[in-house]
């Protein structure tokens, strides 16, 4: 968010702003498609919260990533606090949020904040490579896995294991396991029915 806009908030309007931002980030996180944050430079505050709402985060070497809100007297309020704790654990969340530091891409990779780092001059090719690899994976299985992972992040163990079993079984309804296993045994690429990149 723009700091000038944030300056206009008070305790009452800040709650509404947070709910609005959380709703937006939750809609992004709930998209059935696999989402990728391609981070080529600074990714701070709301930008980092957006990246955390994505399934994968890919960065250029020059990128710096973090949640500096405490440096201006607030905390991440658009889901960044919750997502940082859930995705990276309390230790990492404390470091990122309490210090407000922007991490170099290599450090972000080391702690799991990003999934890959590419040289600056090969960033686009690196991102395209990940996209191409994702497109070779069964689309219904990816959607099922994404939905299940999101659910498991919020559930107790017994419920999580039940949900996993049902999601595993639902993959078979798509027909993708039959094609995937046949392709594996035939030593050929699977013929998924998802659109391919041009």
Cα separation, 119 vs 136, whole angstroms: 24
CB 116, CB 126: distance < 8 Å: yes
Query: For this structure, is 16 an active site residue?
Result: no
Burial state string for 9-48 with b = 16 or more CB within 10 A and e = fewer than 16: beeeeeeebbeebbebbeebbeeeebbbbbbbeebbbbbb
| Count of Cβ atoms closer than 10 Å to residue 92 Cβ | 15
Active site residue 176: no
Catalytic residue among 5, 16, 69, 153: 69
Task: Tally Cβ neighbours within 10 Å of residue 79.
Answer: 22
CB atoms within 10 A of CB 135: 15
Q: Which helix (H) or strand (E) holds 91?
A: helix 90-99
Q: Which residues are catalytic?
A: 49, 69
């Amino acid at each position: 968010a723009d700091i000038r806009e944030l300056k206009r908030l008070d305790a009452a309007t800040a709650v509404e702003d947070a709910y609005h931002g959380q709703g937006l980030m939750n809609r992004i996180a709930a998209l059935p498609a696999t989402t990728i944050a391609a981070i080529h430079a600074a990714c701070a505050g709301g930008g980092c919260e957006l990246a955390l709402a994505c399934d994968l985060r890919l960065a250029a070497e020059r990128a710096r990533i973090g949640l500096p809100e405490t440096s201006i007297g607030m905390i991440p309020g658009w889901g960044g606090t919750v997502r940082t704790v859930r995705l990276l654990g309390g230790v990492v969340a404390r470091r990122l949020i309490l210090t407000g530091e922007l991490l170099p891409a290599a450090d972000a990779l080391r702690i799991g904040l990003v999934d890959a780092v590419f040289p600056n001059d090969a960033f686009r090719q690196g991102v395209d490579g990940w996209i191409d690899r994702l497109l070779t994976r069964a689309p219904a299985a990816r959607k099922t896995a994404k939905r299940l992972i999101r659910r498991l992040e919020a559930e107790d163990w017994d419920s999580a294991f039940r949900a996993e079993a049902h999601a595993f079984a639902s993959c078979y309804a798509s027909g993708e396991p039959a094609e995937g296993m046949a392709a594996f045994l035939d030593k050929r690429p699977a013929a998924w029915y998802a659109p391919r990149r041009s």
